[in-house]
Chain A
């Protein structure tokens, strides 16, 4: 039984890991080796594609754009999503659960169908080809996710904690800020990471609402790598890996924080 599980896990793992591994291999090959097989592994491995990514194009600028948009989106979605989620789950809001499901429903609408109207809205706001245009669009899209992730945790908050806070003299806002939010720290971390990853990887809006390096993000930048007559696979792979590294780093750094709960000891278990 255990051996079967192990075998199955290995197979699934290999299946999932193969594409990124292939990408790593590709990013270490010289242009000459790219089109030939064998050799399977680069021979010798070269870091040239990584250098080439930054040569002659504003890849650094793409990274800055991505970072600003992703961080701002994360902040806004928490700033708006956390109070909304708390109010809808813990305060007596008329039709609270209907509103929550409304959020869920809205998030089911495919992004593609919204690109057109959103483009018009962003253009009339004068936000085309700016960070804020992207932040606005991304926040709108991430918000339901943030609200729902936090709602799950807020629902599990022991009611006695809030009652104790009220008795201790806290207003609803103080209860939210000093008790509910810190106790749900892991949820906040999880929601932030999810929002960040979404905004960092987002491609459709970033492609549609930008036109220059003023706001183009890493995924859009990479999409612009292919020239008229060449397909620089090695640089695309290297760029993608550079682009993915912050997300990978975040997940590795915070996975324990996301998983572990700090509610232990709050109430008798």
Chain B
């Protein structure tokens, strides 16, 4: 068990800066996720923490130790790869036992620990098989088992679920959450999937172009994004953005005055962000738009409205209440609206 501290981490490949001045602290037993689109530098950060790549600048601390110049095997970290990276010539038993064998753990203890982990992951009957003879979900479990058997100070997971189909992914997500609750190992998880980030993490760090945009709890990331990038990256369907004018503290989209006050420092033009569930259809007051499409997802319905100020996606519980071609009135939940600086994308409240 240990906390992790990244200090002024930077990674350059020639002219390209992949990670820029990154400071991050992961508390002991915390589950922290690096979330970002592909190419945002999140896997690079993970590799630097693992010791697979040296940073161009900055330091990595695990517990009280400065591990920046240590080899991976000296860092007491375990990692699960997106490709699973199982050893194809070894049985599942030997795959899981490999880290222990390299540490010269006594034979009997290896057997006990591998069997314990295998039983925990439901692999007990498969230990004689080779990776080629088991399913994708089982391979994923073996990869987790190989990491768990070590009882490392830090767990690193690099997009571990992205090779699984949707149903299995949900299942393994639950499994990872249970394992973390059970073992309490400090975990750094990398994903581009916001659902994984939101459901698994204690805190999420959103990364964009090598820069941390926000580090906060999943709830805070969703409700109070630090900037337009975070707001648009998190949430499906994405947040609606509308251009608005500020006049004497009042925020107006076209002629419609919104029920919130702009901060004093706000420029005359701002961007209003509104989540699909924060738009209500069929109110008597407010504006109206043309229903462009209606998608029923079962438990909820997505309605796309064409308004003369832009397009709006509306999320509402239950069955569809409108048909395409109809004109519908709508209203914003004013206390949920977010204001952004139009050029930098920074939050204004």
Interface residues of A (CB under 8 A from B): 158, 160-161, 163-171, 174, 178-179, 182-183, 185, 262-268
Contact = CB atoms under 8 A, between A and B. Distances in A.
A181 B86 CA distance: 15
Contact of A178 (B52, B98, B136): B98
Given A169-B72, A174-B102, A182-B90, 4 more contacts: A160-B81, A168-B102, A169-B99, A265-B132
10 contacts: A160-B82, A160-B85, A166-B73, A168-B146, A169-B103, A264-B132, A265-B130, A265-B134, A266-B85, A267-B84
A166 B89 contact: no
A268 B256 CA distance: 53
Interface in B66-91: 71-73, 77-79, 81-90
B163 interface: yes
B50 interface: yes
Contacts of B51: 166
A57 to B, nearest CB: 46
A160 B87 CA distance: 10
B106 to A, nearest CB: 16
B89 A164 contact: no
B131 interface: yes
B62 to A, nearest CB: 14
A163 B53 CA distance: 10
A177 to B, nearest CB: 11
* Chain B interface mostly: loop
Nearest to B75: A167
A265 B85 contact: no
A163 B150 CA distance: 16
Contacts of B72: 166-167, 169
B187 to A, nearest CB: 15
A169 B102 contact: yes
Contacts of A171: 73
B297 interface: no
* Chain A interface mostly: helix
A196 B98 CA distance: 33
The 3 tightest CB contacts between A and B, nearest first, are A265-B132, A267-B83, A266-B88
Contacts of A183: 87-89
B83 A160 contact: yes
A169 B73 contact: yes
A158 B348 CA distance: 47
Contacts of A158: 83, 85
Interface residues of B, number: 33
Given A164-B85, A166-B52, A167-B78, A268 B136 contact: yes
Interface in B211-260: none
A265 B50 contact: no
A163 B78 CA distance: 11
Interface in B81-120: 81-90, 98-99, 102-103
B256 to A, nearest CB: 50
Given A167-B77, A167-B79, A168-B102, A265 B71 contact: no
A163 B88 contact: no
B133 interface: yes
Most central of A158, A160, A183, A262 by chain B CB within 10 Å:
A160
B71 A168 contact: no
Interface in B18-75: 50-52, 71-73
B11 interface: no
B87 A179 contact: yes
A163 B99 contact: no
Nearest to A162: B85
Given A163-B52, A163-B81, A164-B79, A170 B73 contact: yes
B144 to A, nearest CB: 13
B154 to A, nearest CB: 11
Contacts of B79: 163-164, 167
B73 A265 contact: no
Nearest to A172: B71
A56 B159 CA distance: 73
Contacts of B146: 164, 168
Contacts of A161: 85, 87
A268 B67 CA distance: 31
B192 interface: no
Nearest to B88: A266
A268 B89 contact: no
B52 A265 contact: no
B204 to A, nearest CB: 24
